[in-house]
């Protein structure tokens, strides 16, 4: 186990030197893009993003940097002057998919030789993968760590000036505890927003690469978060999700004495009609104070994502999760006691090294007792550099697949039964910005469930009241209630 200690901080701003470097680089790139525009050419950028919500939030900041440098957004990489790929490393499939799409950029760059390609995110924050990009993808210009978004203008400026390709992952970068509040954000949605409250992770679960590629926990100052959320609400944003690898640890590295429960309370006191969510919560730090703050909040959605990972105490210990199945179920009971209408979702890993049939049966038992509304389930994927990847008792693929099928079958029955209980209810639904794939108007309930709205034309990005008329395993259907105003 690595030492997770870090000194308490009074702020999280970039040093004056880093800020000056970022601004100088932005100016240097801007001189090039402005010249292109003067000559009748519009320099375009495209961002390809993989993985979790934190990556989506990072990609919105990368978009802000790109536009600050004078690039205009393009929905495809074709003909772009700048392409940034924000990768994931949580599972092998995510890395393989990212590398496959990076491979396809070779032909794009052949057709447009001025294209600059940069790769960031968790995959690129591993030196082995950075080396792969350098040697096997010669058309990629640079990579950058999750902790160094501020360096992207510098890397772009260097390549525009004829500088060498760059693929270094330094211990200094991965141990950084600062980040910039000055990077603008280009939101992908008008009504939904991600707001990072902290970065990094100190937990070192034995299967997870995140602490090694996102660095130690570092919290943003509460006033900065409040200012961002207040601005979003005033701009018309209606659904705000606070992000962190473990939001329950928020504030532990600050001197201000503000906990995550305190932060929820302060945000709830802001003016405006909006819905507040957060993820992800680690069960070892899910406190009664947080549950109470959530229950008392006028804006907190009654949805709690609480990763279980396994129902076996033996497996949880090997995962270094630092809670038992009984402690987990006690949190679930407290959530339901305090908020009887709450929806609880979770993550479960199937086939962790050494998982016996009895261990898996315990997971099914906890899943039934917890009565989850939905689960996000994964077959264990070894991540090089983590203890679990070195375990000698790996589970055969056919066994993992068979257990995964049983897990899904069990949860699907639970999810459908819980959704059917909501038929006849009138629920508050936030309508999505764009129609669904079939042209249906869709939205999300306070429980974060997908709701297809039949008939009527509710305004995108607005709350409305919907009477639920039908349910299946993964979604609800409903019609606008006679009183459409959401309260």
Domain presence at residue 373: yes
Q: What's the average model confidence in pLDDT over 226-247?
A: 96
Q: Are 160 and 29 in contact (CB under 8 A)?
A: yes
Domain match, 365 and 292 both: yes
Give domain status of residue 164, yes or no. Answer: yes
Q: What is the mean pLDDT of residues 239-244?
A: 96
Same domain assignment for residues 265 and 393: yes
User: Is residue 173 helix, strand or coil?
Assistant: helix
Residue 91 or 116, more confident: 116
pLDDT of residue 6: 40
Residues 197, 55 share a domain: no
> Looking at the structure, do residues 293 and 436 belong to the same domain, yes or no?
no
Q: Which of 145, 174, 203 is the last residue of a domain?
A: 174
Q: Report yes or no on whether pTM surpasses 0.85.
A: yes
Indicate whether 177 pLDDT > 80: no
CATH code, domain with 106: 3.40.50.12160
**What CATH number has the domain bearing residue 255?**
3.80.30.20
Same domain (yes/no): 165, 203? no
Interhelix angle for 53-68 vs 16-38, to 10°? 60
**Quick check: is 2 in a domain?**
no
The answer to whether residue 461 is domain-embedded is yes
For residues 444 and 183, the model is more confident at: 444
- Please compute the mean of the pLDDT values over residues 97-107 and round it to a whole number: 95
SS3 276: strand
Distances (CA, A) of 277 to 268, 294, 382: 11, 10, 30
Whose CA is closest to 47, among 62, 69, 33? 62
Q: How far apart are CA 288 and CA 294, in angstroms?
A: 10
Sign of the Cα torsion 282, 288, 290, 291 reads positive
User: What pLDDT was estimated at residue 140?
Assistant: 97
pLDDT for 449 beyond 80: yes
Three-class secondary structure assignment of 82-107: EEEEEECCCCHHHHHHHHHHHHHHHH
CA contacts within 13 A on the Cβ side of 479: 4
Length of the chain: 487
Distance CA 219, CA 244 (A): 9
> pLDDT tens digit string along 367-404?
999 999 999 999 999 998 899 999 999 999 999 999 99
Q: What pLDDT was estimated at residue 11?
A: 57
Range of the domain at 86: 16-174
Check if the beta carbon of residue 244 is closer than 8 Å to that of residue 254. Answer: no
Q: Tell me the mean pLDDT in the region 74-86.
A: 97
CA distances in angstroms from 62 to 71, 115, 239, 452, listed in the order given: 11, 17, 21, 32
Radius of gyration for the chain, computed over Cα atoms and rounded to the nearest angstrom: 23
Cβ atoms of 174 and 6 within 8 Å: the answer is no
Q: Give residue 437's pLDDT.
A: 66
| DSSP structure class, residue 166 | B
Residue 3 maps to a domain: no
Last residue of a domain, one of 122, 145, 174: 174
Banded model confidence at residue 239, pLDDT cuts 50, 70, 90: very high
pLDDT tens digits for 317-334?
999 999 999 999 999 999
pLDDT of residue 487: 46
Phi, psi dihedral angles at 463 (to 5 degrees): -80, 145
What is the pLDDT, as a whole number, of residue 486?
47
Q: Which pLDDT value is given to residue 208? A: 93
Percent of the chain with pLDDT over 90: 79
Tell me what pLDDT residue 172 has: 73
Q: Is the pLDDT of residue 470 over 70?
A: yes
Considering the domain architecture, whether residues 378 and 431 belong to the same structural domain is answered as: no
Confidence label for 436 from pLDDT (cuts 50, 70 and 90):
low
104 and 157 in a single domain? The answer is yes
Q: What is the end-to-end Cα distance of the chain in Å, rounded?
A: 48
Same domain, 319 and 357: yes
221 and 140, same structural domain? no
Q: How confident is the model at residue 483 (pLDDT cuts 50, 70, 90)?
A: low
Question: 163 and 230, same structural domain?
Answer: no
pLDDT band at 5 (very low <50, low <70, confident <90, very high): very low
Q: Last residue of a domain, which of 420, 435, 469?
A: 420
Q: Is 90 exceeded by the pLDDT of residue 176?
A: no
How far apart, in Å, are the Cα atoms of 417 and each of 304, 337, 472?
19, 20, 8
Kindly state whether residues 388 and 432 are assigned to the same domain: no
Number of structural domains in the chain: 3
320 belongs to a structural domain: yes
- The pLDDT confidence band at residue 456, using thresholds 50, 70 and 90, is confident
Average pLDDT over residues 47-75: 94
Q: Is residue 10 situated within a structural domain? A: no
Residue 240 lies in a domain: yes
pLDDT band at 269 (very low <50, low <70, confident <90, very high): very high
Assess whether the previous peptide bond of 280 is cis (omega < 30° from 0).
yes
Rounded CA separation 381/304 (Å)? 25
The confidence score (pLDDT) of residue 184 equals 86
The sign of the dihedral angle between the CA atoms of 377, 383, 387, 390 is positive
pLDDT of residue 94: 85
**CATH number of the domain encompassing residue 469:** 2.40.50.140
Residues 297 and 415 in one domain: yes
């Amino acid at each position: 186990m690595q030492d997770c200690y870090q000194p308490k901080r009074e702020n999280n701003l970039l040093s004056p030197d880093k800020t000056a470097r970022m601004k100088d680089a932005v100016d240097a790139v801007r001189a090039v893009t402005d010249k292109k525009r003067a000559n009748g050419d519009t320099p375009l950028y495209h961002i390809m993003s993989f993985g979790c919500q934190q990556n989506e939030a990072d990609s919105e900041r990368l978009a802000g940097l790109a536009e600050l440098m004078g690039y205009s957004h393009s929905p495809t990489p074709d003909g772009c002057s700048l392409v940034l790929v924000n990768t994931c490393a949580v599972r092998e499939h995510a890395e393989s998919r990212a590398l496959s799409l990076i491979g396809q950029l070779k032909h794009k760059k052949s057709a447009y030789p001025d294209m600059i390609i940069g790769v960031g995110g968790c995959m690129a924050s591993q030196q082995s993968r950075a080396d792969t990009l350098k040697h096997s993808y010669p058309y990629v210009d640079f990579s950058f760590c999750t902790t160094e978004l501020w360096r992207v203008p510098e890397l772009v400026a260097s390549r525009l000036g004829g500088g060498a390709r760059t693929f270094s992952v330094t211990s200094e970068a991965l141990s950084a505890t600062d980040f910039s509040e000055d990077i603008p954000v280009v939101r992908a949605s008008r009504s939904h927003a991600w707001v990072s409250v902290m970065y990094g992770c100190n937990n070192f679960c034995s299967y997870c690469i995140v602490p090694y590629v996102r660095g130690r926990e570092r919290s943003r100052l509460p006033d900065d978060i409040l200012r961002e959320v207040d601005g979003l609400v005033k701009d018309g944003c209606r659904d705000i999700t606070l992000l962190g690898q473990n939001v329950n640890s928020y504030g532990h590295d600050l001197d201000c004495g503000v906990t995550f429960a305190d932060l929820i309370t302060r945000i709830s006191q802001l003016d405006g009609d909006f819905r507040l969510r957060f993820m992800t919560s680690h069960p070892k730090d899910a406190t009664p104070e947080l549950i109470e703050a959530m229950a008392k909040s006028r804006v907190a959605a009654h949805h709690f994502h609480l990763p279980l990972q396994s129902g076996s105490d033996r497996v949880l210990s090997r995962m270094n999760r630092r809670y038992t199945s009984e402690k987990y179920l006690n949190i679930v009971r407290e959530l339901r006691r305090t908020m009887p209408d709450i929806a609880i979702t979770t993550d479960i890993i199937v086939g962790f090294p050494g998982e016996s049939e009895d261990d898996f049966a315990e997971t099914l038992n906890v899943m039934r007792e917890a009565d989850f509304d939905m689960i996000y389930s994964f077959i264990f994927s070894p991540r090089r550099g983590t203890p679990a990847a070195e375990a000698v008792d790996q589970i055969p693929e056919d066994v993992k697949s068979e257990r995964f099928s049983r897990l899904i079958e069990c949860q699907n029955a639970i999810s459908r039964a819980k959704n059917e209980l909501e038929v006849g209810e009138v629920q508050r639904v936030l309508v999505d910005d764009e129609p669904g794939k079939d042209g249906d108007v869709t939205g999300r309930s306070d429980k974060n469930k997908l709701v297809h709205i039949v008939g009527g034309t509710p305004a995108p990005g607005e709350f409305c009241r919907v009477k639920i008329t039908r349910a299946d395993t993964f979604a609800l259907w409903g019609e606008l209630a006679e009183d459409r105003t959401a309260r």
